[in-house]
Amino acid sequence: DTAVSQTPKYLVTQMGNDKSIKCEQNLGHDTMYWYKQDSKKFLKIMFSYNNKELIINETVPNRFSPKSPDKAHLNLHINSLELGDSAVYFCASSQGTSGGNYEQYFGPGTRLTVT
């Protein structure tokens, strides 16, 4: 009964490849997020969706494209992978669009290694 799940947990791939990371939440939340944690453990928001609609799109290369087929899923597709994309990607969800009143629940993370 995992609340926020991500697949795969580990992803090792070569430069130039295209890969996807999937995220699913069973909490009934209507907002989902993607965060990137770099090698120095710094966490930064990438995207946020509310009811399948993009509401936050930080300065992220357009090689990264989020897709939300429904409220419970937010996938991240990355084209033409580069070495600098190596990081841990966390999915999260919350009940509302405001971070204030609503706790964000995080997935276990996907460790992406680009060689």
| Phi, psi of 95, rounded to the nearest 5 degrees | -70, -35
What is the smallest separation between the CB atom of 24 and another protein, expressed in angstroms? 14
Per-residue binding string, another protein, 51-80, x by CB under 8 A, is ----xx------------------------
Produce one character per residue of 14-44: b if its CB has 16 or more CB atoms within 10 Å, e if not: eeeeebebbbbbeeebbbbbbbbeeeeeeee
101 contributes a contact to another protein by CB under 8 A: yes
What is the smallest separation between the CB atom of 113 and another protein, expressed in angstroms? 17
For residue 66, give the 3-state DSSP assignment: strand
3-state DSSP percent of the chain in helix, strand and coil, to 5: 5, 55, 45
63 forms beta bridges with none
Instruction: Name the residue nearer to another protein (CB basis): 21 or 81.
Output: 21
113 contributes a contact to another protein by CB under 8 A: no
**Residues in contact with another protein by the rule CB under 8 A:** 4, 33, 35, 40-45, 48, 50, 55-56, 90, 92, 96-101, 103-104, 106-109
